[in-house]
Structure 1
Amino acid sequence: MDAKKTAKELIEHLGGNENVISATHCATRLRLVLKDDNKPNKQEIEELEGVKGVFSASGQFQVIFGTGLVNKVYAEFANETGLGTKDTDGGEKQVDHAEAAKKKMNPFARIARTLSNIFVPIIPAIVASGLLMGLLGMMTAFEWVAPDSPWILFLDMFSSAAFIILPILIGFSAAKEFGANPYLGAVLGGIMTHPALLNPWTLTDAVPESIVFFGMNVELLGYQGTVIPILLVVYIMSKIEKGLRKIVPNAIDLLVVPFVTVILTGFIAMLFIGPLGTWVGNGLTWSLDFIYNTAGLFAGLIFGGLYSTIVITGVHHSFHAIEAALIADLGVNFLLPIWAMANVAQGGAGFAVFFLTKNQKVKEIAIPASFSAFLGITEPVIFGVNLRFMRPFIGAAIGGALGGAYVVAMNVVTNAYGLTGIPMIAIAAPFGSSNIINYLIGMLIAAVGAFIATWILGLKEDTTKK
């Protein structure tokens, strides 16, 4: 593929250089923020060499090229448009892409994106802890070592650490996202998990001490393993810090701003926001648990069938916060297996398209895109294949609903978030072989159900591309 030729033609079909505000790329997609989203000729762009799909989401116009190709196209695209090059003052011509994208989102989508930016960087720590818990569980269940073995002691420490200091991790990440000092965010997380406070993560049956402060009865209860309290606290901290920086002279900024920010936010956290956040978080967890246990199969059908539609809107980015709260409060994540069924179903529908289509380019895209869905990456198959013809997307929704109903009926759960498809087996394993088997059966139901539903619905290749 001639990356330079593709980049030039892409710019032309986008409406020219003047219509491009900023550009960046991820592992598979070129992400663009445009002045006028109606100018691009999507049909012409989809016909360009190397392009595997086009869609708009999260305030960005996104073109799927695939791993490896997207880097080459972006380099040529940046050269042609001047984005990323230095101007005469030594600064970047390209504006901040994330901020430009946020400005084009509606308020709800902005909140979802913000939560995603906070929780996605924490995924490796949560996944590692989940796998360590699984290893600890197997060593205990199969008696590989004695109960008082140092292995048990160390693995228990390693596996629980991320959840005990979760407010510190979230505090750091949230402060970065809110434009505040991330280390002050971590300090607030440290205050809320201080050893002087009762740790509910390890001492669930203990009763916290209470003190009277300015006539208020304050329980000395820690927030280890909680999510919502630290999010609210760091958001308030960011407002206090930014407000102080506007009025405090630069000469004494380092002395005054951190001190006042920590002491004010610390008192607000311990007296008001912490207890309120805990109440809100417990209410959310209880509500989801009630729906899951009461609605049962119906909940699986609805969530599994609608998840891919939610992905299109970008709102799914906010689900990591909910899943983290479930793990912290209940010790399990019962939502992720449902999302996994929806993702696998998209792959099953994509395979059906491979056999149904007569378009050679669509065939070339369908196989790798469908396989990526089985690994938990669904954007290529959703936007590059299934949504192009709509009926496969509906077939995938049917398969996702069937798979979702099954995993709910079988109580399939995980102890982390961030992985779906085949990789999710690793974080489903800690709950036993039956959990893994039922998850695999659910995947089979979702994929085969989506394949059959798509085959029955058929494919209209002359349908106008959307």
Structure 2
Amino acid sequence: MDYQSVASQIIDVVGGADNILSAAHCATRLRLMVKKREIIDDNEVESLPLVKGCFFTAGQYQIILGTGIGNKVYDEVIKLGIPGASKNEQAAAAAQNGNAAQRLVRVFADVFVPIIPVMVATGLFMGLRGFLTQPDLLAMLGLTTDSIPQNFLSFTQILTDTAFSFLPVLVCWSAFKKFGGSPVIGIVVGLMLVHNILPTSWDVAEGNAEPLLFFGFIKVNGYQSSVLPAFIVGFLGSKIEQWLHDHVPNALDLIVTPFVTVLLSLCLGLFAVGPVFHSVEMALVDVVSFLFQLPFGVGGLIWGALCQVIVITGVHHALNLVEIEMLSKTGWNPVNPVGSCGIVAQAGAAMAVAVKTKSVKMKSLAYPSAVSGLLGITEPAIFGVNLRLVSPFVWGCVGGGVGGWLSALFGLQGTGMSVTGIPGMLLYLNKQLPLYILINGIAFAVAFALTYIFGMKNQDAAA
């Protein structure tokens, strides 16, 4: 495939290089910051080779190309002279667009998305550890749990516990980097928030340790597995550092700025930000937990039906905070299987379109989009197929609701996040795996059947 030709055509149809401020990409999409949205013809963009759909949101014109293609086209776009903006520059340009809620979501996304791969890996390690230590599996091999060497268990515990124990370090590093501070200072401040001198929040909550008492009334403990305190400290610390750089004489900047930044950041984190926002994040976890504990699986029904609607708005990035919090506090993620059902259901709707339509072009678009959805990437199916025809998207939401309802009803929970569909099975390498496969299969089947029967009008099938 001539990706350079595709890149050149994309640049032309979006108004030329002069209309593009910067370019970025994700797993499936080329994201362009453009000066004038109104001069772009969506139909012309969608007629290009490899393009599966397009949409404009949060100040970005996003062109859906598919897994493994978006990054290759992006590389060619940069080679053709489009300014190679950094992520910070891209975020700064995006921040000028959209309403306050959209800008806030982008801020959360910019901070949390870089640490998600580590959360994914940790979740997979948890699933694998649970699989290898299952009594039933060990019995098949003539072993028991006592047969597992302690050194092996310790090794797996390092793999599964490190990221969550030092989660504030990751968040503080990312926040400092996002808001223009020195990432290495973020790392140091994050490490201080989890220093072993501080009693852990788990020990304090269980009554096994007493928090440190400062000024006679401020109770302080470590913030292992916390997210919001590190996020706020990272934001405030980066702003303090920037202010000091602007006001401290150059001759003293190297000494004064990091010293004062670290000192004030730690004081804010331990004595003000930490106590307040730790309570806030606990409340967030309680709210989501309450939703999934509603009787008769109602919470899963609601979430499963609406999760892909949330994806359209882009707000889903902010929800990473909730999943990270739940995993760090409980070790389990009830949101993941419900979200997986929503994704797989959209794949089922796209597959129904592919089977029923008589259009060769729609078939060539819908089949790979459905496969992409089964692998956990739903944008091609949503924007390239289902939303175009409207009804398939609605029936996909219905299928996601049914699957989510069953997931909540049976109490299904993942060991990690951000891996869904077929790859998501790695988070359920325990006795839950058959149930995970079942509910996703039902979500797919419901969406497929309803779309095939009711979701396509004659003109849509022939289009």
Indicate whether the TM-score tops 0.5. Answer: yes
Asked if structure 1 preserves the Cα contact closer than 8 Å seen for 2:28 and 2:379, the reply is no
Q: Does 2:120 correspond to 1:127? A: yes
In the TM superposition, residue 448 of structure 1 has moved relative to its aligned partner by 0.5
| Counterparts of 1:62 and 1:169, CA distance in 2 | 29
1:457 maps to 454
| Residue 424 (structure 2) pairs with residue 427 (structure 1) | no
- Give the superposition deviation at 1:219: 2.9
Q: Equivalent residues in 2 for 1:21-420 (5 A)?
A: 21-67=21-67, 69-70=69-70, 73-74=73-74, 77-78=77-78, 82-84=81-83, 96-137=89-130, 138-139=132-133, 141=135, 142=138, 143-146=144-147, 149-201=150-202, 205-214=206-215, 216-420=216-420
- Does the 8 Å CA contact 1:23/1:83 hold for their aligned counterparts? yes
1:84/1:94 contact within 8 Å kept: no
Tell me if the contact between 2:125 and 2:160 (Cα under 8 Å) persists in the aligned partners: yes
Show the counterpart of 1:439: 436
CA apart distance, 1:174: 1.8
Q: Do the aligned partners of residues 135 and 204 (structure 1) sit closer, same or farther apart at CA in structure 2, a change above 3 Å counting?
A: farther
Deviation per CA, 1:281-315, whole angstroms, max 9, x where unpaired? 11111122122112552211111111111101100
Give the distance between the partners of 2:126 and 2:4, measured in 1 at CA. Answer: 49
Q: Distance in 2 between matches of 1:125 and 1:2?
A: 34
Structure 1's 364 and 212: CA in aligned 2 closer, same or farther, altered over 3 A? closer
Unaligned runs of 5+ in 2: 139-143
Distance 1:446 1:196, change over 3 A: same
Given the superposition, is the C-alpha separation of residues 20 and 124 from structure 1 closer, same or farther in structure 2, using an over 3 Å criterion? closer
Query: What is the percentage of aligned positions where both structures have the same residue?
Result: 38
* Post-superposition offset of 1:30: 2.0
For the Cα contact (< 8 Å) 1:340–1:376, is it kept in 2?
yes
Q: Tell me the distance in 1 between the aligned counterparts of 2:283 and 2:71.
A: 45
Distance 1:193 1:439, change over 3 A: same
Specify whether residues 74 and 145 from structure 1 end up closer, same or farther in structure 2 by C-alpha distance, changes over 3 A only.
Answer: same
- Matched letter for residue 83 of structure 1: I
TM-score by length of 1: 0.90
Q: Residues 212 and 11 (structure 1 numbering): CA distance in 2 closer, same or farther, change over 3 Å?
A: closer
Alignment length (residue pairs)? 452
Contact 1:83 1:93 in 2 (8 A): no
Q: What letter corresponds to residue 331 of structure 1 in structure 2?
A: G
Once the 2 structures are TM-superposed, how far is the Cα of residue 134 of structure 1 from its aligned partner?
A: 3.5
* Greater displacement, 398-407 / 10-19: 10-19
Residue 141 of structure 2 corresponds to none
Give the direction of change, closer, same or farther, for the CA distance of 1:367–1:157 in structure 2 (3 Å limit). Answer: same
Evaluate the alpha carbon distance shift between residue 126 and residue 363 of structure 1 in structure 2; reply closer, same or farther with a 3 A threshold. Answer: same
Shift of 1:69: 4.7
The residue number in structure 2 matching 1:88 is none
**C-alpha displacement of 1:424:** 1.2
**8 A Cα contact 1:349 1:386, kept in partner:** yes
Q: What CA distance in whole angstroms lies between the structure 2 residues aligned with 1:287 and 1:27?
A: 31
**Can you list the C-alpha shifts for 1:28-54, whole angstroms capped at 9, x where unaligned?**
322111122222111122112232211
Most deviating of 453-462 and 93-102 = 93-102
CA contact (8 A) 1:140 1:147 kept: no
* Structure 1 residues 259 and 17: CA distance shift in structure 2, 3 A: same
Q: Which moved more, 1:240-249 or 1:294-303?
A: 294-303
Q: CA deviation at 1:71?
A: 5.1
TM-score by length of 2: 0.90
How far apart, CA to CA, are the structure 2 residues paired with 1:7 and 1:153?
50
- Aligned 8 A contact 1:323 1:333 in 2: yes
CA 1:5 to 1:264, structure 2 compared with 1: closer, same or farther past 3 Å? closer
1:413 deviation in Å?
0.4
- Over 3 Å counting, the alpha-carbon distance change for 1:380 and 1:93 in structure 2 is closer
Instruction: Say if 1:208 and 1:219, in contact at 8 Å, map to a contact too.
Output: no
Contact 1:348 1:370 in 2 (8 A): yes
Answer whether contact 1:52 1:65 (CA < 8 A) is retained.
yes
**Quick check: 2:213–2:220 contact (8 Å CA) kept in 1?**
no
Extract unaligned runs of 5+ from structure 1.
Answer: 86-91
Q: Match of 2:133, SS?
A: helix
Q: Distance in 1 between matches of 2:203 and 2:126?
A: 15
1:93/1:427 CA distance change after superposition, 3 Å:
closer
User: What secondary structure sits across from 1:99 in the alignment?
Assistant: helix
1:167 and 1:199 mapped to 2: Cα distance? 13
Q: CA deviation at 1:202?
A: 6.4
1:186-237 deviations in Å (ceiling 9; x for gaps): 11211111111112346753443355533x3233421111111111221211
> How many angstroms apart in 2 are the aligned matches of 1:93 and 1:185?
20
Q: Which letter maps to 2:438?
A: I
Residues 1:70 and 1:139: Cα distance change in structure 2 (over 3 Å): closer
Distance 1:112 1:222, change over 3 A: same
